[in-house]
Amino acid sequence: MLRFRVFSKFPVAKRFHADFIRNIAVIAHIDAGKTTTTEALLHNSGKKSIKGSVDDGTTTTDYLVQERERGVTIQSAVVSFENKNPETGLVNKYNIFDTPGHADFIYEVERVLPVIDSALLILDSCRGVETQTKAVLRLARKHNIPIMVFANKIDKFNSNPSYSLESLEKFGMNPISLQIIDENKNIEDNLESDDVIERISNCDDLICEKYLNGEIFSRSEILDAIRAAHGRCEVTPVIFGSSKNNLGLKELIEYLGAFDHRCEKEDFMGSSFVFKITNDRRLGEIAMLRNFGDNSLSLKSTKSLLNLSSENNSIATKKTKLFSLDGAAFEPAKDIQADDIFVLSNFENLKTGDFVRNKKAKPSDRKFANFLKARQASCSVVLEVEKQGKEQQLLAGLEVLCKEDPSLSFMESEETGEIILRGRGPFHLEIAISRLETEHRVKDIYQYPVRVDYREVPSIICALCSKCY
């Protein structure tokens, strides 16, 4: 269950129009520095006076006991900060989704992709594109999400900016290096260089014509061209820095504002999407959603919400409440603006991947099917409780965990009575069992060795027909 929550008697959050709200996922391979970068963004934007540390367990987004103990992100979490756009002078609100980098928790990345406008890829500049980097990039491409890269750890002695760019190029990301690193690891601006303009001219006919005619470009013209190509997922802006030592964070925040995009998903319009179901110690079961509607969602209108993915069943109860979300803290809200993230409590008939809408809204002929399906489990473990009579407590805890994380599943064998928990990997199962003990108070759990699912395939492809497999 979620902990460390702060409640306010009155809603104090500022109101933002949808044009000034952006939802950005921080994605990466494990240990690239996602959570540290998220903390640095909060600190450098003025949201936090003291930057949290992963090693000390003081970060905003790692609030589970297991996350703080192991120093690894297990669940996706949302925090927000405000920043004035240097071009327009207007204040934008950024909802930042800190996601896990471990392969066992890839579902936590998959669940937030439908609700974000763009992604910030954190790259370890010492290693370049890694295995899980490729996995999250493929997922982002599948959803046509614009990606910007922050090449982290540039201050390390073995950092290799050139290799980082080459690995992105090899993966087909068409990187545009907005900065260059000199021999002394100093970061210099590269926006108006010929290399940047040449890359943009390949994506923009007008820029190409001006470039061939030898015309000089202003900084704003270059930024506008990159922003347009970035929105079409044709280029990947890259900047360098170090989240741990606050190098390049000011520039990162500026470029987040320069290259922000609003994701307008026609299939989602007029509805809100449930990307997560979890449990809170005070509120009980809660749902996290993005409002894709054209208008704000008021507390009064939540009383008439329907589940479009389940035969338009009502989800509201007399006690349904509305909250704004920031990490592990909730703020009671009277309304939620379009494109913002919010939380519902005291509801029914709702699960991850569902769409909800006010019954007074304009009806739609489209079928809002639940498309957020978890990947098939790859390993399993048999669980037992040493004390008799505690099996029901174990089963109740497993039911809650599996609803929170659909990539987990369990079954009770009719033949042997064994309770079998299935997940994405050994670490996934280890964390689930630990949460059973800490959050659901299931003590003295005995687990058998983890069994990995294997699939038999031919060792030699048919010589007569290479298309058999």
pLDDT mean over 24-45: 94
Q: How far is CA 181 from the centre of its chain?
A: 29
Least confident of 181-195, 227-241, 352-366, 387-401: 352-366
Do 425 and 450 touch, CB atoms closer than 8 A?
Answer: no
Q: Would you list the DSSP string of 316-369?
A: EEEEEEEEEEETTEEEE-SEE-TT-EEEEEEE-S--TT-EEEETTSPP--S---
Do 420 and 410 touch, CB atoms closer than 8 A?
Answer: yes
> How far, CA to CA in Å, does 453 sit from each of 104, 379, 381, 416?
14, 5, 11, 20
pLDDT given at position 304: 79
Residue in 52, 30, 31 with CA at minimum distance from that of residue 41: 52
Q: What phi and psi, each to the nearest 5 degrees, are found at residue 396?
A: -65, -40
Q: What does CATH list as the number for 379-452?
A: 3.30.70.870
Torsion of CA 156, 145, 330, 433, to 10 degrees: -70
On the question of pLDDT at 21 being above 70, the answer is: yes
Considering the segment(s) 272-358 as one domain, its CATH architecture is Beta Barrel (2.40)
Residue in 22, 12, 66 with CA at minimum distance from that of residue 45: 22
Instruction: Output the six-digit token pair for 30.
Output: 């494990």
Superfamily (CATH H level) for 18-258: P-loop containing nucleotide triphosphate hydrolases (3.40.50.300)
Split at pLDDT 50, 70, 90, the class of 358 is confident
On the question of pLDDT at 15 being above 90, the answer is: no
pLDDT given at position 1: 45
Neighbouring residues of 251: CB distance < 8 A, sequence distance ≥ 6: 179, 187, 239, 241
pLDDT given at position 376: 83
Cα distance between residue 183 and residue 163, in whole Å: 15
pLDDT digits (tens, 9 = 90+) for 259-285: 988 877 766 777 889 999 998 888 889
Domain segments of the chain: what residues? 18-258, 272-358, 379-452
Do 114 and 135 touch, CB atoms closer than 8 A?
Answer: no
| DSSP character at residue 302 | G
Higher pLDDT, 149 or 55: 149
Residue in 263, 285, 264, 266 with CA at minimum distance from that of residue 276: 285
pLDDT digits (tens, 9 = 90+) for 401-420: 999 999 999 999 888 889 99
CA angle 254, 295, 310 (to 5 degrees): 110
pLDDT given at position 202: 92
Split at pLDDT 50, 70, 90, the class of 3 is very low
pLDDT given at position 302: 77
Question: Chain-wide mean pLDDT for the chain?
Answer: 86
Neighbouring residues of 114: CB distance < 8 A, sequence distance ≥ 6: 143, 265, 268, 273, 275, 372
pLDDT given at position 11: 43
State what percent of residues in the chain have pLDDT above 70: 88
Stated length of the chain: 469
Highest mean pLDDT among 8-12, 304-308, 312-316, 425-429: 425-429
For the chain, the straight-line distance linking the first and the last C-alpha, in angstroms and rounded, comes to 45
* Number of neighbours of residue 441 by Cβ within 10 angstroms: 9
Instruction: Output the six-digit token pair for 262.
Output: 């609003």
pLDDT mean over 31-53: 92
On the question of pLDDT at 379 being above 90, the answer is: yes
- Which residues does residue 278 pair with via DSSP β-bridges, in sequence order? 286
Instruction: Output the six-digit token pair for 395.
Output: 């089963």
pLDDT given at position 12: 47
Split at pLDDT 50, 70, 90, the class of 364 is low
* Number of neighbours of residue 282 by Cβ within 10 angstroms: 12
Cα distance between residue 28 and residue 119, in whole Å: 10
pLDDT digits (tens, 9 = 90+) for 100-142: 999 999 999 999 999 999 999 999 999 999 999 999 999 999 9
Cα distance between residue 273 and residue 237, in whole Å: 29
pLDDT digits (tens, 9 = 90+) for 430-461: 999 999 999 999 988 999 999 988 766 666 66
Cα distance between residue 447 and residue 384, in whole Å: 6
Cα distance between residue 325 and residue 340, in whole Å: 9
